[in-house]
Each structure stands twice: as C-alpha cells, then as structure tokens.
Amino acid sequence: MTVLILTGQEDVTADMVVMHLNAASVPVVRLDPADLTAGAALSGEYVHGSFHGHLSTGGRLVSIHGLRSIWVRRPGVPAARAAQPSAWLTEEASQALYGMLRGCTARWMNHPDAARRARHKPWQLRLAQRSGLPVPATLITTFPQAAREFAERFPDLVVKPVSGAHPQEPPRAVPTSRVAPDTDFSAVAYGPTLLQRRIAKRADIRLTAVGGTLMAARKETPADADPDEVDVRFATSDVPWRPAEVPPRVAAAVHTYLREAELAYGAFDFAEDADGTWWFLECNQSGQFGFIEVETGQPLARTIAEWLARPAPRDHEQTDGRRTVTP
C-alpha cells in the first residue's frame, strides 16, 4: 500500500516526511497535479460495477486502489504545466484526479472538502468558540459605522485579511496590523474588514495537531518588543521557538475542533496573554511545520509519516461514502 503525496517538487518540507517514509520502507508516490498531461498521467475505468484507476509520474505507476493515504500538502494547480494550459483543462484535470481519488478508501490529510471549509476564517472563529477555545472579540463588516462603534468598545484593535490571502497585482502582503484609535473607517465600505481586539501577548503559540497528537511551540515576546509589531511572521525578534506543554483544557478543545472540522492535520496559532490564556487566532489546515521542527526538534515530520503509513480502512468501513477522520 502506497502513500500518495500531492505537492510540488520544490516542497522541501514534504521531503522531511518522505525521508521517514523511506526509512520505514513505506512506498511513496509524489505527484504534482500541475504536471498532469506533461509528466504525470492518470487513468480510471468503471466497468462491471467496479473501479480500477492508476496514476503515473516520474516513472512510477500506482493503483488508486492500492493507496493507503493521501497527503494534500502543496499541490499545484492541475495541468498548470500542460503544453496548452487553460482554465478549462485545469477544471478537467481537477475533476478527473480528485474525483477518482475521492472514490477510494485511502485516508486523507486533509480531505479536500474539509480543507476547503476549514480555510474560512469566520467559520474557524465560530468553531473555536463552540469548541471551548477563547476567541478575541472580532468584527467582520462592510459597515463603517459598525467598525467605529466596535472601535469605541474595543479601542485597541488589529486588522487582518478575512481570507488570509494576499493581493497579487501587484504582489503585496497584508500582515496583521494595529489600528490607531483615531483611524478613519470609511474605507470599510469597500471590502469586508476583519477587526479584532489586540491581545497584549507575552508569547506566540504554534500548536501542530497530527491526528490525535498535539505538539506546541512557544515564541516569547521580548519585553522591549514594539507593541505595533503584531504579526509574528513579520517580527524582527530572533527569540527561538521552544517546545511548550499544551494545557489540558486547550488540548480537549483542540481535539473537539479537529473532530468537528474533520481534519487530520491542523496548525493552530494562539496568542498567550499575561495571564497565560491561549487566545485562538486561526487554524491553518495545511500550515507549515518544518520551521518548528528545525528549531524545537519536535518530531513533527516523523509523526506525520507515521500517520500516513497506517493501513487504509477496508472497503466495507466506508460504504456510506462519509469521510472518516482517524485520530
């Protein structure tokens, strides 16, 4: 039984997992959907009530029936590198590949349906609340007046993209940024705006969940840190990430979140305040983990490899077509 990894060639983080799978003699096929029709190929036959499908890439041929797990890591846009790429061909290739894979019994990290839903940050906030995680007061609005009133109730605010995406024409980054008290909110009318009470943090927390295993890392905020420097991804601090214990209540809530979200993997970001409370910021369903392993030595890649290497459920265990998330 083979592990299928959907990712690009340049994904050196995936390499960290492939190395562990190789060491355990678990067969791996690494395929970038962008290579479909130019380096990667597929075929599936539905005849006499049964399905037989195959994928091919890099000289390897694998039966879809023989997949134990599928890791959707950093897949390219299907058929993006075809000889004559087009939006139509991308949709054709996407439907063919993911449609066939959806019909097999392999375990997913993460299933595309769960992944798509989990990317919605407003949905994340509500699920986090329901799961028992503290969520900073948040407003998402296109009403300038609502923004003004929210700022009166919560004078210390940050703004960040609702989607987490960044504009590309021209390429720009939109970090989580502090909003000045006298800010003019009239431009809120031109796009949904996410305003959130700023947590005066003493540390950033990255909690990586792999199945039922939780590993947290903590990056302390320096005492002399600029309070306007909110986004840890842009912070100039050279304080390293260190392993951290996960408080039992947080662990229970995270397990609830993952179960409800039907996620096998999630990278949770928290802000730790002066009382030690971990405030939920977001959960990235395909968040990076390599930098945490490199700095903390936590065995994230090995844990992912072990999850992927488990046997696939048998056919009769998924007869109703529902997804199963194995802890």
Task: Give the integer Cα–Cα distance in Å for 72 and 142.
Answer: 34
Closest approach of other proteins to the CB of residue 126, in Å: 19
**Is residue 93 within the footprint of other proteins (CB under 8 A)?**
no
**Sequence-ordered list of residues with C-beta below 8 angstroms from that of 165, at least 6 positions apart, any chain:** none
**Is residue 229 within the footprint of other proteins (CB under 8 A)?**
no
Task: Give the integer Cα–Cα distance in Å for 129 and 280.
Answer: 9
**Is residue 85 within the footprint of other proteins (CB under 8 A)?**
no
> Cα torsion at 23, 29, 31, 35 (round to 10°)?
120
Closest approach of other proteins to the CB of residue 253, in Å: 21
At residue 160, φ and ψ (nearest 5 deg) are -155, 160
**Sequence-ordered list of residues with C-beta below 8 angstroms from that of 167, at least 6 positions apart, any chain:** 174
Nearest to 146 by CA among 157, 135, 136, 131: 157
Task: Give the integer Cα–Cα distance in Å for 71 and 56.
Answer: 17
According to CB under 8 A, which residues from 235 to 274 bind other proteins?
A: 267
Task: Give the integer Cα–Cα distance in Å for 57 and 31.
Answer: 6
**Sequence-ordered list of residues with C-beta below 8 angstroms from that of 283, at least 6 positions apart, any chain:** 118, 124, 128, 257, 261, 263, 266, 267, 268, 269
According to DSSP, the residues that pair with 67 across neighbouring strands are 2
Choice from 49, 59, 248, 276 touching other proteins (CB under 8 A): 59
Residue 310 burial (CB count, 10 A): 15
- Closest CB to other proteins among residues 198, 206: 206
Closest approach of other proteins to the CB of residue 217, in Å: 11
**Is residue 134 within the footprint of other proteins (CB under 8 A)?**
no
**Is residue 25 within the footprint of other proteins (CB under 8 A)?**
no
**Is residue 234 within the footprint of other proteins (CB under 8 A)?**
yes
Radius of gyration of the chain (CA): 22
**Candidates 11-19, 44-52, 252-260, 303-311 — which segment interacts with other proteins by CB under 8 A?**
11-19
The pair of three-digit structure tokens given for residue 12, joined into one six-digit string:
């050196």
Closest approach of other proteins to the CB of residue 137, in Å: 18
Choice from 43, 63, 86, 163 touching other proteins (CB under 8 A): 163
**Is residue 161 within the footprint of other proteins (CB under 8 A)?**
yes
- Closest CB to other proteins among residues 18, 133: 18
- Closest CB to other proteins among residues 14, 104: 14
**Sequence-ordered list of residues with C-beta below 8 angstroms from that of 222, at least 6 positions apart, any chain:** 237, 239
Closest approach of other proteins to the CB of residue 163, in Å: 7
Closest approach of other proteins to the CB of residue 177, in Å: 4
Element (H, E) at 253: helix 248-261
At residue 124, φ and ψ (nearest 5 deg) are -60, -45
According to DSSP, the residues that pair with 197 across neighbouring strands are 157
Choice from 193, 221, 296, 303 touching other proteins (CB under 8 A): 193
**Is residue 87 within the footprint of other proteins (CB under 8 A)?**
no
Choice from 111, 160, 201, 218 touching other proteins (CB under 8 A): 160
**Candidates 23-31, 89-97, 101-109, 308-316 — which segment interacts with other proteins by CB under 8 A?**
23-31
Choice from 71, 98, 150, 185 touching other proteins (CB under 8 A): 185
Contact residues: other proteins, CB under 8 A = 9-10, 12-13, 15-16, 18-19, 28-30, 58-59, 74, 76-77, 119, 147, 159-168, 170-175, 177, 185, 187-188, 190-194, 206, 231, 233-234, 267, 284-291, 293-295
